[in-house]
A and B are shown apart, each in its own frame.
Chain A
Amino acid sequence: MTDATANSPQPKSSLLTVSPRVKQRNAAEARFKMYGIAAVMTGLVFLVILLATILFNGVGAFQQTFIEVPVYLDAAKLDKKGERNIDDIKKVSTFGYTPLIENAIFAAVEENVDNNPLTASKETKALISASAAAQVRDVVIANPEMIGETVDFRILAASRVDGYLKGRVTRDSIARDKNIDAVHLDIVDQLRAKGIVKREFNWAFITGADASESRPEQAGMGVSMLGSLFMMLVVLVLSLPIGVAASIYLEEFAPQNKWTDLIEVNISNLAAVPSIVFGILGLAVFIQFAGLPQSAPLVGGLVLTLMTLPTIIISTRASLKSVPPSIRDAALGLGASKMQSVFHHVLPLAMPGILTGTIIGLAQALGETAPLLLIGMVGYIASNYPTGPIAGFMDPNSAMPAQIYEWAKRADPAYYERAWGGIIILLVFLITMNIIAIILRRRFERRW
């Protein structure tokens, strides 16, 4: 007002020319928009780089090199008594099978490679995985009638051979490698040309168990995926009812006093507590005090439940709060009890928010590694499938993120590739869960 009176004889301004003040404001607005777009673009670029790196590094883990050869299952070696008694067959260890496989590979090399550089069948050892013998033995034990026949097998190639096909291993890089020679790579080239050495989709990476440090070609995520599944079951079964019940009580029933204030502050604080703290709590309470088994998905699930609860409580309370009070008034005004008004009207309206919060909480728990470190799930070699549902909860196991961490710290570069591949699987799970959350929210969303 004072400005206007101070410069009272103002020249009449035209609407067609932009005044300097307006020009300045428009410029400021344009600059702000630019900053915003720049920020969003930077974020997007990093996301694209991240996804591209993960895919580039990890996609190799989904392919594996196999050698297809007919193996003669020599009855004289595998069943000396000739009675086909399954107990006798089981007595032959993998050492009995190794020479048969080596002979088979040697024969294939002899047949397909010009001037076979190998002098003895033992030298083919560098081409095949250490797990090949066990693979053949399992098939024979399942089908004892095969003994004495020649059967086609798809044998896992050694990780060096696999790496050579994927470009990870080169003639230079194996110069000081005791496990493989350039000769072997020549053989692989020729066998590949003949279609005996092949790269195929690696189902075993998704369904298989972890392997020892020396055989990365055999390692898979399957068992730790089950570990994660059992943990998520524990988290879901515990945190959803406890979290929702606690939020309903705090939001709808609890009186407003210093005790509920204290609880509220603490729940918000718990959501920000580093997850490793929950891990050490789980170690002290569930393992050392309650005596639950180490490395068990049950304990992992309990720890992750503690971690997920604040997330679920906060999101549930937010969605309860967003239900308009007029709905509660309407129900109470009709003579509904508090509980009826909450369960008949408020909760159904809050459901999409609660479900979304729960799924996001579960997704968070699924990717959590640090608390598992302290209860022994990181570092456990998940090489056996659980024998049943109870064993699934109680027997030691790993979890997906723990498995990735474990692979990433192993020395063999073949494991590096597996770690990236594991990240792809984990991301697929997380994206699936988020999509489910979005679909549920859409499906249940109602207007009022």
Chain B
Amino acid sequence: MYDNPNLERKVAQQDTKISARNVQVFYGDTHAIKDVNIEIPSRTVTAFIGPSGCGKSTFLRCLNRMNDTIDICRVEGDIDLDGENIYDKRVDPVQLRAKVGMVFQKPNPFPKSIYDNIAYGPRIHGLAKNKADLDEIVEKALRRGAIWNEVKDRLHAPGTGLSGGQQQRLCIARAVATEPEVLLMDEPCSALDPIATSQVEELIDELRDQYSVVIVTHSMQQAARVSQKTAFFHLGNLVEYGDTGQIFTNPQDSRTESYITGRIG
């Protein structure tokens, strides 16, 4: 599979990983997402930008059905993952979330050891046959989360004792440990300082090799730095979606331009 990475990546970029058609989301009587159509390619970083309350996080949470946990939330329309409708009655959201991992705005490690934080996902999904296997998975995930060197000597210390940036990378490592295909990130750097942010951004760039990453961000610079595709949301509408370079240099819609130049938002 990795014999010819360049070729592989080219092919993969043409694949559509997630495709959403006519998605509507309602919170009680509020129409939060209005008729969104989007095709998210595989092995790409896609950024969702837009002012607060525009629905970008809500739409992100539709992609792994985290909105199911909110009683008053209702989703209409189709979202396909590899051609399968994730809102089909036969789909178990638990199984879906194993394929579509998520990293949240605030670092939320479990109040357990670093090791147990990472090992939790593989354990519940039965990814490890024995202890040695699990050790290997944990190490691999921590290395991929770019935090291995900092924590390898204290794997059994509590994960909540790490600094904010370390905690967020731990959460990313935890998410990749379950071998997802898509990684959703909801403003992963909003609670971090610039140094931790740049570490996480580097990490996101590396993750692109194997995953589709969808990232919600408030920072347009961050979107420009890490993403290949950008979607601009405004008041629940998907205003514009295209290559990141094109959105930031040559936006087609006046609202996108206003937002990027700081006139709305």
Q: Which residues of A contact B (CB under 8 A)?
A: 255-256, 324, 326-337, 340, 344-345, 349, 446-448
| Cβ contacts under 8 Å, A329 to chain B | 66, 69, 102, 104, 108
Highest count of chain A CB atoms <10 Å: which of B110, B160, B171: B110
Highest count of chain B CB atoms <10 Å: which of A256, A332, A345: A332
| Cβ contacts under 8 Å, A345 to chain B | 110
Cβ-based interface call for B41 (8 A): no
Do A327 and B110 touch (CB < 8 A)?
Answer: yes
Nearest A residue to B64 via CB reads: A333
Within 8 Å by CB of A334, from B96, B106, B120, B160, lies B120
**Residue interface mask B136-175, A partner, CB < 8 A = 1:** 0000000000000000000000001000000000010011
A344 to chain B, nearest CB (A): 7
Within 8 Å by CB of B95, from A335, A344, A349, A448, lies A335
Q: Which of B64-104 contact A (CB under 8 A)?
A: 64, 66, 69, 71, 94-98, 101-104
Cβ-based interface call for B194 (8 A): no
A444 to chain B, nearest CB (A): 11
Do B106 and A333 touch (CB < 8 A)?
Answer: no
Do B104 and A335 touch (CB < 8 A)?
Answer: no
Cβ-based interface call for B10 (8 A): no
| Cβ contacts under 8 Å, A337 to chain B | 94
Within 8 Å by CB of B121, from A324, A334, A447, lies A334
Within 8 Å by CB of B94, from A327, A336, A446, lies A336
Within 8 Å by CB of A327, from B98, B101, B108, B175, lies B108
Q: Which of B96-127 contact A (CB under 8 A)?
A: 96-98, 101-104, 106, 108-111, 120-121, 124-125
| Cβ contacts under 8 Å, B174 to chain A | 330, 334
| Bound form: Cα–Cα A402–B101 in Å | 59
| Cβ contacts under 8 Å, B125 to chain A | 335
Cβ-based interface call for B217 (8 A): no
Nearest A residue to B171 via CB reads: A330
| Cβ contacts under 8 Å, B178 to chain A | 334-335
Highest count of chain B CB atoms <10 Å: which of A334, A336, A344: A334
24 A–B pairs (Cβ distance < 8 Å), ordered by A: A256-B71, A324-B108, A326-B104, A327-B111, A328-B69, A329-B66, A329-B69, A329-B102, A330-B109, A330-B110, A330-B171, A332-B66, A333-B97, A333-B103, A333-B104, A334-B97, A334-B101, A334-B124, A334-B174, A335-B95, A335-B121, A344-B120, A344-B124, A446-B111
| Cβ contacts under 8 Å, A344 to chain B | 120, 124
